[in-house]
Amino acid sequence: MDNVAIQLSGVSKSYPGFELEDVSFQLPGGYIMGLVGPNGAGKTTIIRIMMNLARADSGQVSIFGLDNVAHENEVKRRIGYVPEHHNFYDEMTVGWMARFVRQYYPSWDQSYFDALAARFGIDVNKKAGALSKGNRSKLSLALAMAHRPELLILDEPTSGLDPVVRRELLAELLDFMGDGERSVLFSTHITSDLDRVADYITIIVDGRIHASDEKDVLLERARKDEPTASIEDILISAARGGEAR
Amino acid sequence: MDIAISPNNPVPMYQQIVDQVTALILSGELKPGDPLPSIRKLAADLLASVITTRRAYADLEAEGLIVTRPGLGTFVADLTPEDLERLKDRAVIGHLADAVRAGRNLGLRDKEIVKLLYDVLDRGIERG
């Protein structure tokens, strides 16, 4: 698997009071990357630039080897995106939502969506507004997965969920990965989700990349000093201004 | 395959997989020629990353405990009973060497270390 799912090169963007500076990292196809950082570090901005919902001032984003702006439609058809805040039509049913999303994706697999909804315990006849918080997250994920995208981009998918539901979602993600044809970028500040499943970790602090490497490599380096170091410890030391790699 | 790993264990996750698969093979629970799950299947079962699981399989393969047959999958290596004995000895010798090192570091003479080993054998390891 020498294909590259995501490649960011020198991406910069400034808003009043916030700056994303020279962000570069790469996710090889077939793996899960965790994008971690404190609130306000720039995770969501990076994801919005990747989805062409925000424009970078400079730098380049390439997804599946294609420029994400020049080839926006093709790229987006091959991505499943779960934004931080789920925008559902609360008055409409889950089944209606699925039909609504389906029209944008030629590769939509209705039986897969139905199977996911069943596995997640979501009643397709229920109104979206009547779903619990956990079920809203699960529905969002099911809607993003049902066209079997090659890349899932998840912005804080587990935030606000209880540990049992988080564990279910992680298991579903690993199942979705299949034989290595799919990749996942997963932003979170709940680093314990990544201790298990992430292949790569990118740590972002104050709009800059602090480290981007294989998780096992980052852990091994940190555990030379502190034998029980976790991703959380690495993030905290990075946020306190610890030495970058 | 009945193994469980935890990210909170200071032993790296790939090493936890290596240790537990090794134990299953040396104890005979997994027999020569038995199939192992694919890397991606095992990663999904354990909720571990693919890279972690791949590294564990690479280490097990380097130690001659498992073999990967392209297109067929991964299997427990065709270890002879002598191989198994040798590997078991090696696994135990490593721990005994640690114990000897710990004893010598504390200034015990070898004779005293041997005596302690007999004490442990007599009393059982639980209280050892």
State the Cα–Cα distance between residues A19 and A45, nearest whole angstrom: 10
Strands (E), chain A: 4-15, 18-28, 32-36, 58-63, 66-67, 79-82, 151-155, 183-188, 200-205, 208-214
- Using the Cβ of B48 and the Cβ atoms of chain A, whether some distance falls under 8 Å is answered with yes
In the β-sheet with A151-155, what is the strand arrangement from edge to edge?
A79-82, A151-155, A183-188, A32-36, A200-205, A208-214
Q: What pLDDT is stored for residue B128 in this prediction?
A: 43
- CB–CB contact B49 A227 (8 Å): no
Q: What pLDDT is stored for residue B35 in this prediction?
A: 96
Q: Please count the structural domains in chain A.
A: 1
- Using the Cβ of B80 and the Cβ atoms of chain A, whether some distance falls under 8 Å is answered with no
Task: Locate A220 and state its tokens.
Answer: 């091994």
Domain membership of residue A20 as a residue range: 1-78+150-160+187-245
DSSP string covering A175-224: HHTTTTT-EEEEEES-THHHHHH-SEEEEEETTEEEEEEEHHHHHHHHHH
Rounded to the nearest 5°, which phi and psi values hold at A112? -70, -40
Within-domain flag for A131: no
Within-domain flag for A50: yes
On whether the CB atoms of residues A75 and A66 are closer than 8 A, the answer is yes
Within-domain flag for A53: yes
B34-90: pLDDT as tens digits: 999 999 999 989 999 999 999 999 999 999 999 999 989 999 999 999 988 988 898
Q: What pLDDT is stored for residue A34 in this prediction?
A: 95
State the Cα–Cα distance between residues A72 and A50, nearest whole angstrom: 10
Residue A240's domain is classified under what CATH number?
Answer: 3.40.50.300
- Percent above pLDDT 70 for chain A: 98
Nearest CB neighbour to A227, from listed B10, B13, B47: B10
Within-domain flag for A105: no
A196: closest chain B residue by CA: B48
- CB–CB contact A177 B44 (8 Å): yes
Within-domain flag for A169: no
Residue range B97-118: average pLDDT? 93
A118-160: pLDDT as tens digits: 988 999 999 999 998 888 988 999 999 999 999 999 999 887 7
When scoring B18, B49, B53 by the number of chain A Cβ atoms within 10 A, the one with the most, hence best to mutate, is B49
Within-domain flag for A177: no
Within-domain flag for A92: no
Within-domain flag for A127: no
**Regions in chain A scoring below 70 on pLDDT:** 1-2, 242-245
- Using the Cβ of A180 and the Cβ atoms of chain B, whether some distance falls under 8 Å is answered with yes
